[in-house]
Chains A and B, each alone.
Chain A
């Protein structure tokens, strides 16, 4: 399984990423499932600032991707997470999973997002009005990741 992991300030093109992922599959791929996360404009939010732990972030995401590869028959994974200041409506994260079958692609995509949220060392700060406030981790995200342990 190939794993393309990018932490970047720049935006990404979902269509190009899907094409790149499918081009890597010499036999062709049966399915690609993708998830794209955007900055939501809840409660007067104007922008997010994303900080991360360079080095650990890439390693942790690689570990999560490798675990997904042991659970499902995946041929390739692309994970892109943006950092820096992102305005409402901008893309934050892309997870794209290639597999021969859709069930594996859907499940692995959800697994990767659940573990990105609870394991990858990123921190969001919300800009609202004149101030900025760190986002608190949600117990619902921990619960979403936890259910994969029982599965």
Chain B
């Protein structure tokens, strides 16, 4: 899976993109967020409060209960502030 980070999520984690191997226990966006938070450091800071985060799967807005699979592009970011 290709995992992308934007805005302050990217800044806390320290990079904008990484490849993470899919595994059977990573069934949802929330499972991936929990796995990343457990890495500690900037990841723990970025994922400390999931309510402050939004996600997309394959460039479509998705909830933390959305299913993920090998090959997906998954993004984490703050609520959007364009316009």
Q: Which residues of A contact B (CB under 8 A)?
A: 37, 50-53, 55-56, 59-60, 81, 92-93, 113, 116-125, 134-137, 141
Enumerate chain B residues within 8 angstroms of A55, measured Cβ to Cβ: 59
Report which of A59, A120, A125 forms a contact with B80, defined as CB distance below 8 A.
A120
- In the A-B complex, the 5 residue pairs with the smallest Cβ-Cβ separation, listed nearest first, are A122-B82, A137-B79, A117-B83, A123-B7, A56-B59
- Residues in A neighbouring B77, C-beta threshold 8 A: 53, 121, 123
B6 at interface, CB cutoff 8 A: yes
CB <8 Å contact, B82 and A113: no
Which chain A positions have C-beta within 8 A of B8? 134
Closest chain B CB from A21 CB (angstroms): 20
* Contact status B78-A123, CB under 8 Å: yes
Whether B82 and A50, one on each chain, are in contact in the complex, defined by CB atoms closer than 8 angstroms, is yes
Give the A-B pair count, Cβ closer than 8 A: 70
B36 interface residue (CB < 8 Å to A): no
In the complex, what distance in Å separates the CA atom of A41 from the CA atom of B22? 46
Q: Which of B4, B75, B79, B81 has the most CB of A within 10 A?
A: B81
Smallest CB separation, A112 vs chain B (Å) = 10
Q: Is the CB of A121 within 8 A of B83?
A: no
Closest chain-B Cβ to A111's Cβ sits at a distance in Å of 12
Residues of B within 8 A of A124 (CB): 81-82
Asked if B4 contacts A53 (CB within 8 A), the reply is yes
Q: How far is the CB of B18 from chain A (nearest CB, A)?
A: 16
CA distance A119 to B61 in the complex (A): 8
Q: Which of chain A's residues have a CB closer than 8 A to the CB of B3?
A: none
